[in-house]
Amino acid sequence: MAKEKKLVEQITSMDEDFAQWYTDVVKKAELMDYSSVKGCMIFRPYGYAIWENIQKDLDARFKKLGHENVYMPMFIPESLLQREKDHVEGFAPECAWVTMGGQNKLSERLAIRPTSETLFCEHFKNVIQSYRDLPKLYNQWCSVVRWEKTTRPFLRTSEFLWQEGHTMHETKEEAEAETLQMLKVYEDFYLEALAIPAITGQKTDKEKFAGAEATYTIEPMMHNGVALQGGTSHFFGDGFAKAFDITYAARDNTVKHPFQTSWGVSTRSIGAIIMTHGDNNGLILPPAVAPIQVVIIPVAQHKEGVLDKANEIKNRLADTLRVKLDDSDQSTGWKFSQYEMKGVPVRLEIGPKDIENNSCVLVSRVTREKKFVSLDNVEGEVAAMLKQVHDELVERARKNLEEKTHTATTMEEFLDVAENKPGYIKAMWCGDVACEDAIKEKTGGVKSRCIPFNEEKLSDVCVCCGKPAKHMVVWGRQY
């Protein structure tokens, strides 16, 4: 087998042009198509199926922790959006507005939700009266609109699909615990479902959510060393509760404001999958969210018994796996390439020779390793290879993350790394936003990703200004 031969000529090599490679993959793998509205994309069946699997996995994790799904309206009256000062300043500039209803101009324009804190708060005010009404653990699956200037499929789109959790709690401690718990849910989800290890930590004040007291984030690194904010979890304190006049009668018979959180993961996570795992032959999907986990390719399918056997195997596997049998009349080689491009984790080949031997061939999408296995335990063999694919994806991504994470203790070093080594830079920071601005300025775009939970003490002073350091920050460029 010509190992390095590029079988899929239509996909630009990622080493040659990563951006073009990304665009090629999303198109050729039939994940999405462009629509006629700027920045709005069409989810094609294969791309939407990935999202459905992500939803199913995350939704189960949320519900296990007691969260309930709700649905809020998509319109936010301007006056409602303006209740919380920082929030409106953060979001108003990128809102899409509805100003007409039918033929008539509206008396108040309506924002199409860029996020739903304000809507949830309006509702919470009505349904929270007593400490007995707390906590409220709500989540909604919906789309939001942000009028972005630069858009890219999945990574930044004008409309995107996501989930947004919104919770209200009696105490600050409980809300803080919820905030951290949900970030942990995201961390587990990224690792267990998407096979993506990531750095987690707290956003600096400069980078935190508009209106939040604290924002926590999961920051996976893409194959090219660029960060993608994979999910965020916010602690609001009682700021929104005060702005929206949400109160409850507490156990001690006083009137109090509840404490609030919100947290979200979007279809951007699909972009993370593509750019973390994909290779020059296309997509590689982590088995947990792959719409097709194993594709069966019959060889010489016109020959007696081949399709029967292929169907038999399919039915056996279909009890536990998402399996597709491609019995179309495309050539075998075409099918191999097609499903490789679409990132199907395991391919099963079954032909006359295999049937004679009561065996079949399994091929891993990651290593292309071919394995001849007995049909007696094909379910177990496929499951084992899927697990192996997952583990290899995690391992590869972890290696990339480690290899592309650098440290800097002086500004010269920092600038050198920023210039020459794509990836993350660990460096000490004094806590002053001026140094964040200076670093971004000097490096042409490197920003703080987060203060990681597992901070190290690299030196005593800020890499930028030399004043005493307060934190270690992970820095990097981002999508």
Partner RNA sequence: CGGGAUGUAGCGCAGUUGGUAGCGCGCCUGGUUUGGGACCAGGAUGUCGCAGGUUCAAAUCCUGUCAUUCCGACCA
Which member of 63, 242, 353, 442 binds RNA (CB under 7 A)? 353
The residue range among 180-188, 207-215, 421-429, 458-466 that interacts with RNA, by the rule CB under 7 A, is 207-215
- Residues sharing a CB contact under 8 Å with residue 66, sequence separation 6 or more, in sequence order: 137
Q: Does the footprint of RNA cover residue 165 (CB under 7 A)?
A: no
The residue range among 1-9, 124-132, 242-250, 406-414 that interacts with RNA, by the rule CB under 7 A, is 1-9
Q: Does the footprint of RNA cover residue 99 (CB under 7 A)?
A: no
Q: 3-state DSSP call for residue 361?
A: strand
Q: Does the footprint of RNA cover residue 337 (CB under 7 A)?
A: yes
Q: Does the footprint of RNA cover residue 269 (CB under 7 A)?
A: no
Q: Least distance (Å) from RNA to the CB of residue 367?
A: 10
Q: Least distance (Å) from RNA to the CB of residue 352?
A: 5
- Of 412-451, binders to RNA (CB under 7 A) are 444-445
Letters for 449-468 (x = contact with RNA by CB under 7 A, - = none) are --------------------
Name the nearest CA neighbour of 40 among 155, 164, 162, 151. Answer: 151
Which member of 63, 85, 132, 368 binds RNA (CB under 7 A)? 368
Which member of 13, 79, 94, 318 binds RNA (CB under 7 A)? 94
Which member of 109, 152, 184, 470 binds RNA (CB under 7 A)? 152
Q: Which is nearer to RNA, 135 or 281 (CB)?
A: 281
Q: Does the footprint of RNA cover residue 324 (CB under 7 A)?
A: no
Helix, strand, coil percent values for the chain (each to nearest 5): 35, 25, 35
Task: Tell me how far apart the alpha carbons of residues 110 and 113 are, in angstroms, rounded to a whole number.
Answer: 9
Which member of 29, 31, 46, 114 binds RNA (CB under 7 A)? 114
Angle (CA) 214-218-219 rounded to 5° is 120
Contact of 163 with 141, CB cutoff 8 Å: yes
The residue range among 130-138, 201-209, 319-327, 384-392 that interacts with RNA, by the rule CB under 7 A, is 201-209
Contacts of 13-19 with CB under 8 Å at 24 or more apart are 13/280, 14/223, 14/224, 14/278, 14/279, 14/280, 15/280, 18/223, 18/224
Name the nearest CA neighbour of 348 among 316, 323, 329. Answer: 323
Number of residues that bind RNA (CB under 7 A): 69
Helices (H), 298-377: 306-318, 332-341, 352-357
Name the nearest CA neighbour of 157 among 49, 289, 341, 33. Answer: 33
Q: Does the footprint of RNA cover residue 9 (CB under 7 A)?
A: yes
Q: Does the footprint of RNA cover residue 226 (CB under 7 A)?
A: no
Torsion of CA 154, 157, 163, 165, to 10 degrees: 130
Q: Least distance (Å) from RNA to the CB of residue 251?
A: 34
Letters for 51-90 (x = contact with RNA by CB under 7 A, - = none) are ---------------------------------------x
- Residues sharing a CB contact under 8 Å with residue 277, sequence separation 6 or more, in sequence order: 195, 196, 283, 284, 285, 286, 343, 393, 396, 397
Task: Tell me how far apart the alpha carbons of residues 443 and 439 are, in angstroms, rounded to a whole number.
Answer: 6
The residue range among 53-61, 246-254, 326-334, 387-395 that interacts with RNA, by the rule CB under 7 A, is 326-334
Q: 3-state DSSP call for residue 187?
A: helix
Which member of 51, 54, 62, 115 binds RNA (CB under 7 A)? 115
Contact of 187 with 170, CB cutoff 8 Å: no
Q: Which is nearer to RNA, 338 or 400 (CB)?
A: 338
Q: What distances in angstroms separate CA 192 from CA 181, 263, 391, 432, one per listed residue?
A: 16, 19, 10, 36
Greatest extent of the chain over all pairs of C-alpha atoms, in Å: 81
Letters for 11-40 (x = contact with RNA by CB under 7 A, - = none) are --------xx-xx----------x-xxxxx
Question: Which residues of the shown chain bind RNA in the complex (CB under 7 A)?
Answer: 1, 7-10, 19-20, 22-23, 34, 36-40, 90-91, 93-94, 114-115, 144, 146, 148-153, 156, 207-210, 215, 217, 229, 232, 264, 266, 281, 299-302, 329-334, 336-338, 340-341, 349-354, 360-361, 363, 368, 444-445, 478
